[in-house]
């Protein structure tokens, strides 16, 4: 078998071996996922604005961008965050997928950043969302986003034990346009 053919064959072998592959698509489940994603449509598009994060060396200011769109027929939300330093270099890049599980009625954010990955509970609010990540024994970092028609503000706070929350991040973005990403321009059949 040629190397090219073997590489193309690998995903099908994995799919055939996975327990989920024995199940047929569930139109009701997919419809429930699409319905649950509808409130997150306010995030779709391209966003840009000032942001800062508290580093051990002090406050670091960047221009934050976000590119967000629906995927898999609108059953998941795909996010790319990119922060630019003052000199134009990329200072931070992250990728995320928000999904909804109809069996538990819960949202999850799968995040990839800084060489790490994880699944984190995401709670929808009428005007945004809240999610948090573990940050050591007895500590979390909580991100709270408020999203309006063309404005997105997100604040990150470190919360440890009995101490009051300490703000370590803030971004204030303005929606600058639409995007067909990630569903646009798929590889054609021929």
pLDDT per position as a tens digit, 30-73: 999 999 999 999 999 999 999 999 999 999 999 999 999 999 99
- Would 32 be classed as within a structural domain? yes
Could you give the count of Cα atoms lying within 13 Å of 114 in the half-sphere of its Cβ? 4
* pLDDT attached to residue 21: 55
- pLDDT above 90 (res 22): no
**Domain encompassing residue 143:** 26-177
DSSP 12: H
* pLDDT attached to residue 16: 43
Tell me, what CATH number does 120's domain have? 2.40.128.20
- Would 122 be classed as within a structural domain? yes
Confidence (pTM): 0.85
d(CA 185, CA 181): 8
Q: Which pair of tokens denotes residue 110?
A: 């799968």
- Would 8 be classed as within a structural domain? no
- How many folded domains does the chain comprise? 1
DSSP 9: H
Please write the tens of the pLDDT for every residue from 100-145.
Answer: 999 999 999 999 999 999 999 999 999 999 999 999 999 999 999 9
- Would 19 be classed as within a structural domain? no
- Would 92 be classed as within a structural domain? yes
Burial 88-126 (b: 16+ CB within 10 A, else e): eeebbeeebbbbbeeeeeebbbbbeeeeeeeebebeeee
């Amino acid at each position: 078998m040629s190397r090219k053919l073997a590489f193309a064959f690998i995903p099908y072998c994995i799919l055939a071996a996975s327990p989920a592959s024995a199940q047929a698509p569930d139109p009701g489940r997919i419809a429930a996922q699409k319905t649950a994603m509808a409130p997150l449509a306010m995030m779709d598009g391209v966003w840009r604005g000032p942001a800062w994060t508290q580093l051990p060396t002090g406050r670091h200011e960047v221009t934050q961008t976000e590119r967000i769109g629906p995927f898999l027929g609108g059953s998941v939300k795909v996010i790319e965050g990119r922060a630019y330093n003052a000199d134009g270099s990329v200072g931070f890049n992250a990728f995320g997928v928000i999904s909804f599980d109809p069996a538990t009625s819960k949202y999850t954010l799968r995040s990839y950043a800084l060489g790490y990955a994880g699944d984190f509970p995401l709670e929808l609010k009428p005007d945004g969302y809240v999610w948090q990540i573990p940050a050591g024994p007895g500590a979390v970092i909580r991100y709270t986003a408020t999203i309006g028609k063309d404005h997105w503000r997100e604040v990150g706070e470190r919360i440890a034990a009995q101490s009051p929350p300490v703000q370590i991040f803030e971004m204030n973005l303005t929606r600058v346009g639409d995007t067909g990403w990630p569903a646009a321009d798929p590889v054609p059949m021929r």
